[in-house]
Structure 1
Amino acid sequence: MLVVNRFRAPSDTAAAGALRDDLAAAHALLASKPGYVEGHVGRNLDEPDLWVLSTRWESVGAYRRALSAYDVKLAAVPTLSRAIDEPSAYELVEPNSVLNVAEPRVT
């Protein structure tokens, strides 16, 4: 699964630099968790105040377990909570793969 979190940097240069450092730290912490495959911190070419933290995971469960780890809650979630409010979890679409079907849960 792929997780894409976008962030809008403050116009203040020092605060924008702090966001870069915070994203790098959050990425490093997430990368230390089981199930992490790869990830990157990036900045938009056309809008330099738009940043992204993109990570790939073996499964949605691995990602959710990583987010629930105490050290991630303490050090990375405060940064992740500043992400632009939009869907961030994606399934990878590969040839002949069966895609997730969105349907309500039956209780």
Structure 2
Amino acid sequence: MLALIRYSVPGSQSGQFVDQAKAILGTFAAQEGFLRGHIGRSVDEPALWALVSEWEGAGYYRRALSAARMDMYPLMTLMINEPSAFEIVAGSQE
């Protein structure tokens, strides 16, 4: 499953955001079921950021959110309130 958490980050907070997002990814990476993760920034809207992670299943992601809650707390005010868990229904061959 794919997890996508979007953030609206003022330019002056970008550096701090990246550091905190790396901490979240580090916590995620230590959790069972984690496959990979990325931090991305919109090319068209530089204030729009995304924390993207891929998991073996939704249950793993939900448990990881609990484990990462302290890392995630400082970024809660920047988070865009929308669903974050997506079932992968198709993909390309690597």
TM-score w.r.t. the length of structure 1 is: 0.76
Q: How many residues align?
A: 90
Q: Which runs of 4+ in 1 moved over 6 A?
A: none
1:37-90 deviation per Cα after TM superposition (whole angstroms, max 9, x unaligned): 111001000111111000000011111111222xx222x231453310111110
For each residue in 1:7-64, what CA deviation from the matched residue of structure 2 results, as whole angstroms up to 9, or x when unmatched? 01124x2x22111111111111111111001110010001111110000000111111
Identity percentage of aligned residues: 41
Q: Give unmatched runs, 5+ long, in structure 2.
A: none
- Whole-angstrom distance in 1 between the partners of 2:79 and 2:20: 12
| Greater helix fraction, Structure 1 or Structure 2 | 2
**How well do the aligned residues superpose, as a CA RMSD in angstroms?**
1.6
Unaligned runs of 5+ in 1: 96-107
TM-score using structure 2 length: 0.85
Q: Which has the larger radius of gyration?
A: 1
